[in-house]
Amino acid sequence: MSSPRLIVGLGNPGSDYADNRHNVGFWFTDQLARRLQAPLLPQGKFLGRVARVGELWLLQPMTYMNLSGQAVAALARFYKIADHETLVVHDDLDLPPGSIRLKQGGGNGGHNGLKDIQARLGTADFWRLRLGIGHPGERAEVVNYVLKAPRREEQELLDGAIDRCLLAWPLLAAGDYAAAQRQLHLKTV
């Protein structure tokens, strides 16, 4: 298994969205960038905020969630990063707050950011780090729910999940996805 070369945190740009559940991918990449001492800086060519550490790229698309694939495809194609070397970190309505799932490929679960990435890359074979945010219970409430800040107790669970992902980072960075899955999938919520 090869190490990831591109970590993409999904979210929406701007202060109006900064604390929204939909931005949990941004929260993770912000924390990882701090840990790696690699500031995320605007990079127009890649339509996002970008950091580089050796062969590893961090990306926060600034295209808004529904067009995330534009930024991902631009950077991946320019640096010839393979699908299996890409890890997309995103919110997941189907998992309770604080839950984590790591997998390669699969569907998009109705997540518009994933849909656009799949369309622009022409594949679904990239890795996903799914961070659970819970579901509002009614389909009609989903948009309103993901574009709001989590309740305090949910925020604590999300922060804990991000901390657990950072603890698993050495395994992810080494491309040991099986060991990372064993560590991340432990029931802690």
Sequential DSSP letters for 25-49: HHHHHHHHHHHHT---EEEGGGTEE
Instruction: Using a pLDDT cut of 90, give the percent of the chain over it.
Output: 97
Residue 100 near residue 164 (C-beta atoms within 8 A):
yes
Average pLDDT value for residue range 9-34: 98
> Is the pTM higher than 0.75?
yes
Please state, rounded to an integer, the average pLDDT across all residues of the chain.
96
The structural domains of the chain, with segments of one domain joined by +, span 6-184
The domain made up of 6-184 has a fold known as Rossmann fold (3.40.50)
Residues annotated catalytic, as ranges: 22
